[in-house]
Amino acid sequence: MKTTEPTTLTNLALVAQLFERMDRSAGHVDPSQYRQVAGRLADMLRALPTDVSLDDVLAQLPATRELYENLHYAEAGLCRSPLEAAVDAEVRAHDLIERIRGEAWRAGTRGDAGTAA
């Protein structure tokens, strides 16, 4: 098994930590800077060989883990995301879509009633 140089993992961890801070920031994050950091991190993740020490980085940094999953979705799906969290997110998204559809339908119905002669 080919191992990753410690310097490479250190650099990846530093960029990943910056990405995490930007991803979780409650304040304004410049979109172009976010894309630049995410792109750099994605390039670094693509260049890494599959390696046990990468698991430690991904276990500590959830936004980086999601980015890694998305990069490797075709081969592995969402294998690093807990199934319960994925199902919960899908259910919440479905409920939100249905609620918005219902509100739009009700707003349309009220709007039509106001235009009748």
Q: Is residue 16 located within the same domain as residue 26? A: yes
Q: Is residue 96 located within the same domain as residue 111? A: yes
Q: Is residue 117 located within the same domain as residue 76? A: no
DSSP state of 72: T
Q: Is residue 21 located within the same domain as residue 76? A: yes
Q: Is residue 16 located within the same domain as residue 70? A: yes
pLDDT tens readout for residues 20-36:
999 999 899 999 999 99
Tokens of 57: 């980085």
Share of the chain above pLDDT 90, in %: 32
Q: Under 8 Å CB-to-CB from 69, ≥6 apart: which residues?
A: 76, 78, 79, 80, 81
Q: Is residue 33 located within the same domain as residue 56? A: yes
Q: What is the mean pLDDT of the chain?
A: 80
Q: Is residue 35 located within the same domain as residue 4? A: yes
Q: Is residue 44 located within the same domain as residue 101? A: no
Q: Which of 41, 44, 52 is nearest to 19 (CA)?
A: 41
Domain that holds residue 101: 82-117
Q: Is residue 48 located within the same domain as residue 4? A: yes
Highest mean pLDDT of the ranges 1-15, 26-40, 62-76: 26-40
pLDDT tens readout for residues 36-51:
999 999 999 888 776 5
Q: Is residue 5 located within the same domain as residue 20? A: yes
For 106, what's the count of Cα atoms within 13 Å in the CB-facing half-sphere? 6
Flag whether the pTM goes above 0.75.
Answer: no
Q: How many separate domains does the chain show?
A: 2
| Dihedral sign of CA atoms 25, 20, 77, 89 in order | negative
